Amino acid sequence: MDMAADTPSDHFVSHRVDTGRITLNVRETGNGPLMLLFHGITSNSAVFAPLMTRLSDRFRTIAVDQRGHGRSDKPEAGYEANDYADDIAGLIRTLDRGPAILVGHSLGARNSVTAAAKYPDLVRSVVAIDFTPYIEVEVLDALEARVNAGNQLFENVEAVEAYLAGRYPNIPAPAIKIRAESGYQPVDGGLRPLASPSAMAQTAKGLRSDLVPTYRDVTKPVLIVRGETSKLVSAAALAKTSRLRPDLPVVVVPGADHYVNEVSPEITLKAITNFIDA
């Protein structure tokens, strides 16, 4: 296992795992029951580093670069919910540490709930951060436009940081720095996102699929977390989701936008540990 130069802490081992269907890059640390963490669209596993540091005394935390993202494989096609969920199942089987707790943000939340519904024997529980059914069409239109605009050439890391700080005004500077240092690769003339533009476009389209059956049918414990000022998950979408599944606990994080785990890591940590302990 090689220590990756781009991990924010030298306590993280970064390596690639061949699941038989795809090879995924992961960052891992800690000891205990298996906890897998899945980032949002265009992001990568490094964004969970601060959370993993705090959880590593209780869990074997493994953050995953999902397909098309980070340093994982980037196939030409296969960016629907089921493709991502099948990757999660393959990874859990390959790791062979028993069923996993899944923590997902946005795209990662959608994929984690899908995996729990499809492969209940491989999943203990899910923390689904700021993604639910009933997201309005115009919100998904805006998301898709934003995702497709992110594929650009940057002169250096400072330019990346300036761009990200403008795009994510509520994410604190240290978390922006993690994104800037982990999510881009040197190319002729500067830096480009590691995430594949084609994969991002297909993934954004896939986020429009109807999630109601998945949330309706999932039998594993699921905690729904929403940022109070999230522009992705409206209060109405959350209310409809709660009517669909009144049994699923909900945490609304005060003052947080969509990027809950980066904006409010302490509250996110508390929500996760309270849910698991309960």
What residues act catalytically? 106, 130, 258
The answer to whether 210 touches 174, Cβ cutoff 8 Å, is no
Query: Parallel, antiparallel, or unpaired for β 184-187 and 100-105?
Result: unpaired
Please tell me the distance from the alpha carbon of residue 85 to that of residue 133, in angstroms, as a whole number.
17
Which stretches within the chain are classed as H helix?
49-55, 81-95, 107-118, 137-149, 157-167, 173-182, 197-206, 212-217, 235-244, 260-263, 265-277
Crossing angle of helices 157-167/173-182, nearest 10°? 130
Q: Which of 90, 112, 93 is nearest to 36 (CA)?
A: 112
